[in-house]
């Protein structure tokens, strides 16, 4: 329909959003359980985010990183105070944040000869060459090899494998606390705690990618809080900018002095309008009751899905954390997605058999019920069944 390069398979033309609803060019309305792949945590048209964007756009849209701007400085302080004592680097996307984390891990480890990365099967960290090197799926990786050397993939959840692989060349152990694209697979709290102990003992960094699972989605502000640990490097992106491009890497204070002027950069990173939007997003997320509300709504959705699992043999498993949920089918998830779309519901997939649900964090209980009724009807029709 246009000169767009064909790297995406898409057809729907969207023109407007409100709350958890999206509206198409042809007038159709959709309940959105994809939320722009986890970006639209506050749904569409949040008044505080909109006001912050309008106000900052009237003052200064771009300044470059040759100068300070107030929104970026305030945002760095806010993130460090919400997460852990750290210094913050801003960029514009998830893959850029992970790319920066890889560089920072190498720079921190270099003096001790630590330049290698331990990653996990089914990991997804982005599409640029560095991030792709730590992304597991051969379909994404192989057409672009040779990639960055020094990366090993270990079985997910296998602490023994990490203990055997970690050595004095390991710069960092790197993972998503909840794998997203790889099928919505939460790390157990024991696994995360084990990795934290192991990396401490063996002198490697622990880098967590919360680009998709961070900022309230799992029912805690940061997913690592479920395990009672903090990482050395943390990446954030998707929901941070309230829909504007914004990514961040937090480098724990203990390691920040290894990064010096000129080690990394980004022309647009920390853009003042995106930073102002991010501050408004964090105000909403940090308001008392917001994140516990996410956990409550997640419980309702999970309970409803478990009921559907009892009713429909097509559902093999329901898993996830908070409002990041994977429903694995015995057959293909594609027909389920198609059936939902026909009933006015948008969702996304994570692999061939997993329906991935990432509703806006502000989804209402009635909308959760509406989603469950639509899924029930789609499964009645036989979608998702074993081949």
Ligand X SMILES: Cc1ncc(COP(=O)(O)O)c(C=O)c1O
Listed in sequence order, the residues at least 6 apart from 127 whose beta carbon sits closer than 8 Å to its beta carbon are 95, 135, 140
Look-up of token digits 């009921």: 307
Q: By C-alpha distance, which of 271, 195, 281, 290 is closest to 243?
A: 281
**Which residue among 30, 44, 89, 98 contacts ligand X (CB under 6 A)?**
98
**Which residue among 20, 56, 69, 95 contacts ligand X (CB under 6 A)?**
95
**Which residue among 17, 41, 94, 177 contacts ligand X (CB under 6 A)?**
94
Q: Between residues 9 and 26, which has the closer beta carbon with respect to ligand X?
A: 9
Mark the segment that binds ligand X (CB under 6 A) among 68-76, 144-152, 204-212, 317-325: 204-212
Q: Between residues 125 and 196, which has the closer beta carbon with respect to ligand X?
A: 125
Q: How far is the CB of 247 from ligand X (least distance, A)?
A: 7
Cα–Cα distance list, 155 to 49, 127, 128, 299 (Å): 40, 21, 23, 29
Cα–Cα distance list, 237 to 112, 178, 198, 215, 240 (Å): 30, 15, 27, 9, 5
**Which residue among 237, 279, 336, 368 contacts ligand X (CB under 6 A)?**
237
DSSP characters for 238-270? GGGGBTB--EEEEEEHHHHTT--TTS---SSTT
Q: Between residues 176 and 232, which has the closer beta carbon with respect to ligand X?
A: 176
Q: How far apart are the first and last CA of the chain?
A: 34
The beta-strand segments (E) located in 167-306 are: 170-175, 178-179, 185-186, 205-209, 233-236, 247-252
Mark the segment that binds ligand X (CB under 6 A) among 20-28, 174-182, 199-207, 285-293: 174-182
**Which residues between 112 and 171 bind ligand X (CB under 6 A)?**
124-126
* Residue of this chain nearest to ligand X (CB atom): 94
143 and 132 in contact (C-beta within 8 Å)? Answer: no
Pairing mode of beta strands 354-357, 324-329 = antiparallel
**Which residue among 46, 181, 232, 367 contacts ligand X (CB under 6 A)?**
181
Cα–Cα distance list, 201 to 193, 195, 198, 241 (Å): 12, 10, 5, 36
**Which residues between 29 and 68 bind ligand X (CB under 6 A)?**
37
166 and 112 in contact (C-beta within 8 Å)? Answer: no
Mark the segment that binds ligand X (CB under 6 A) among 88-96, 189-197, 270-278, 318-326: 88-96
Binding of residue 384 to ligand X (CB under 6 A): no
Q: By C-alpha distance, which of 281, 321, 36 is closest to 177?
A: 321
Q: How far is the CB of 37 from ligand X (least distance, A)?
A: 6
Size of the site for ligand X (CB under 6 A): 15
Q: Between residues 217 and 297, which has the closer beta carbon with respect to ligand X?
A: 217
Q: Between residues 35 and 315, which has the closer beta carbon with respect to ligand X?
A: 35
Binding of residue 21 to ligand X (CB under 6 A): no
Handedness of CA 364, 299, 83, 161 (dihedral sign): negative
**Which residue among 99, 116, 176, 367 contacts ligand X (CB under 6 A)?**
176
How many residues make up the chain in this entry? 387
Mark the segment that binds ligand X (CB under 6 A) among 71-79, 108-116, 173-181, 335-343: 173-181
Give the binding site for ligand X (CB under 6 A).
37, 93-95, 98, 124-126, 176, 180-181, 209, 211-212, 237
């Amino acid at each position: 329909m246009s000169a767009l390069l064909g790297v995406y398979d898409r057809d729907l033309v969207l023109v407007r959003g409100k709350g958890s609803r999206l509206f198409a060019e042809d007038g159709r309305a959709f309940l959105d359980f994809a939320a722009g792949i986890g970006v639209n945590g506050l749904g569409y048209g949040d008044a505080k985010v909109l006001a912050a964007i309008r106000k900052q756009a009237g003052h200064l849209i771009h300044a470059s990183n040759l100068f300070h701007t107030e929104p970026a400085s305030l945002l760095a302080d806010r993130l460090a105070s919400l997460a852990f004592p750290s210094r913050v680097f801003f960029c514009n996307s998830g893959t850029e944040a992970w790319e920066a984390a890889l560089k920072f891990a190498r720079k921190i480890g270099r003096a001790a000869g630590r330049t290698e990365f331990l990653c996990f099967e089914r990991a997804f960290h982005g599409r640029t060459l560095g991030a792709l090197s730590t992304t597991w799926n051969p379909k994404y990786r192989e057409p672009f090899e040779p990639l960055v050397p020094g990366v090993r993939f270990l079985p997910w959840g296998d602490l023994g494998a990490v203990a055997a692989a970690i050595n004095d060349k390991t710069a960092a152990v790197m993972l998503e606390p909840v794998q997203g694209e790889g099928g919505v697979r939460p790390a157990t709290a024991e696994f995360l705690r084990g990795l934290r102990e192991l990396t401490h003992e063996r002198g490697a960094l622990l880098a967590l990618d919360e680009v998709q699972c961070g900022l309230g989605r799992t029912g805690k502000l940061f997913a690592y809080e479920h395990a009672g640990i903090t990482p050395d490097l943390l990446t954030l992106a998707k929901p941070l900018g309230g829909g504007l491009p914004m990514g961040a890497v937090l480098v724990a204070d203990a390691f920040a002095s290894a990064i010096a002027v000129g080690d990394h950069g980004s022309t647009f990173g920390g853009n003042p309008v995106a930073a102002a939007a991010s501050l408004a997003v964090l105000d909403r997320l940090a308001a008392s009751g917001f994140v516990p509300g996410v956990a409550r709504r997640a419980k309702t959705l999970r309970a409803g899905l478990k009921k559907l699992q009892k009713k429909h043999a097509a559902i093999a498993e329901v898993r996830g954390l908070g409002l990041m949920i994977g429903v694995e089918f015995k057959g293909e998830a594609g027909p389920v997605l198609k059936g939902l779309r026909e009933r006015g519901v948008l969702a996304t997939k994570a692999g061939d058999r997993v329906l991935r649900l990432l509703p806006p964090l502000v989804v209402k209980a009635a909308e959760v019920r509406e989603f469950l009724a639509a899924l029930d009807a789609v499964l009645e029709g036989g979608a998702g069944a074993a081949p």
